[in-house]
Amino acid sequence: MVKTSRGSYPPQQKVETISGDNAVDTLASEFRLNKEKVFSILRSVGVNLETKSPADSMSLYREVIACKLGDRSRFVTEDTQYQEELDEQLRSFDEIYVDTAPIIQEDWFLHFVTNAEPILKRRKKKLIILEKTLEELHGLKDNPEKDKEVRIRSTIRPDLIRQLAKRGLVRIGDTGSQGIADDHLVRLFRQIGTKKNLLLITQDRGLSERIVRLSQELEAERENQNNKPWYKKLFTRKPTENQNNRMVVCKLVDEGKLKRCYICPECDESYYDDMHECEGMVLCGRCYLNLKEQESKQEQENQKRREEELKAEEERQKKMEEQEKRLAEERSQDTVENRLRKRRNKVSKILATSTALVVLLIVIVLVLIF
């Protein structure tokens, strides 16, 4: 604990606790069970009711009893807009896979599967959970490195999954005995990604990025296939399946809502946002703002350049007009001078001729006189 500047310890935050008897009484009343039943359910997952527990553990206890009894009514949402959004999100996918982490992430999976149940039934779809996922849950419940809540949820989730399988909402997918679930999912998505619309729900960012990049890779392969020369297409087997398929990766957030994983093609970082009808490679908010800022700067530079070019063009036009005006004046002045010169030459010729005639007359007169 860190001391304050005066050397004393800061006051500890008081944690509200509840006794085992009070917890059992409350839970028995809420679920309409007798105390022995509540004791039995909680002790079966390793909850010690002989000591006081934090009051916020009551939500976990309710979750345990709900899973054991198959009563998920408390997780039903009354938000009709969210139900419509969830229906819009799920109806376009042929297969929906659920990874290990979202199943044990607080009570989010319970919210999701409860609100998705009527949609899945109406759309005749199932959630696919791999055998490897069940094996991972089995391994987590006895793992001392995991915290108590993870171990408890890993214990009760298989019961929930079996109940959902009996109700036709879950199908257990065969992954074989080799490799890990993540690698199998990537191989499986590569095999059927061009034939079906796939949704993967996982909290694993690394796996999410692998699937998003795989989707981009398959999309590039389809484009290359479509761009083949006509003579190569003649000897290529035409696909019978719809080629406009997609793979989407989401994670669960509070109350079981879905957030889609995207990868920014600019910074190559993944992020989560609402589901949109687009590819998985989308600019993140930071890069989008940077791009807009760059575009704005570029637009300002272009505008400045256009203004400078316009100004230069105006100056050029002005100089051309001044030059044309000067040439016109010069042409005008040259014409007047030429006219004056011609007149002077003409007058000079007339004067010379007249002078010569006068001199000639004088000479003649003098000769006649003398």
User: Six-digit token pair at 367?
Assistant: 């000769």
Inter-residue contact 190 to 145 (CB < 8 Å): no
User: Six-digit token pair at 100?
Assistant: 């290990």
Backbone angles phi, psi at 42, to 5 degrees: -70, -40
| pTM (predicted TM-score) | 0.73
What is the Cα gyration radius of the chain? 45
Nearest-angstrom CA–CA distance, 233 and 214: 24
What does the pLDDT read at residue 242?
A: 43
Per this entry, what is the length of the chain?
370
Question: What DSSP designation does 16 have?
Answer: P
User: Six-digit token pair at 191?
Assistant: 């095999």
Inter-residue contact 182 to 204 (CB < 8 Å): yes
Closest CA to 136 of 95, 166, 98, 101: 101
Kind plus residue range of the DSSP H or E element containing 272: strand 270-273
Question: How far is the CA of 143 from the CAs of 81, 149, 213, 248, in angstroms?
Answer: 40, 12, 32, 31
Looking at every residue in the chain, the average pLDDT score rounds to 84
Q: Which residue has the tokens 């009760």?
A: 156
Backbone angles phi, psi at 146, to 5 degrees: -90, 155
Inter-residue contact 214 to 189 (CB < 8 Å): yes
Each residue's pLDDT tens digit in the chain (370 positions)? 445 445 555 555 555 667 767 888 888 888 888 988 988 898 888 887 777 676 778 888 888 998 888 888 889 998 999 999 999 999 989 999 999 999 999 999 999 999 999 999 999 999 999 888 888 898 898 888 888 889 999 999 998 999 999 989 999 987 665 667 788 888 889 988 888 899 999 999 999 999 999 998 888 887 776 655 655 555 555 544 444 568 999 999 999 999 999 999 889 899 999 988 888 888 888 888 888 888 888 889 999 999 999 999 989 988 888 888 888 777 666 666 677 777 788 888 888 888 888 888 888 888 888 7
Nearest-angstrom CA–CA distance, 55 and 67: 20
| Tens of pLDDT, residues 206-256 | 999 999 999 988 888 877 766 556 555 555 555 444 445 689 999 999 999
Inter-residue contact 58 to 26 (CB < 8 Å): yes
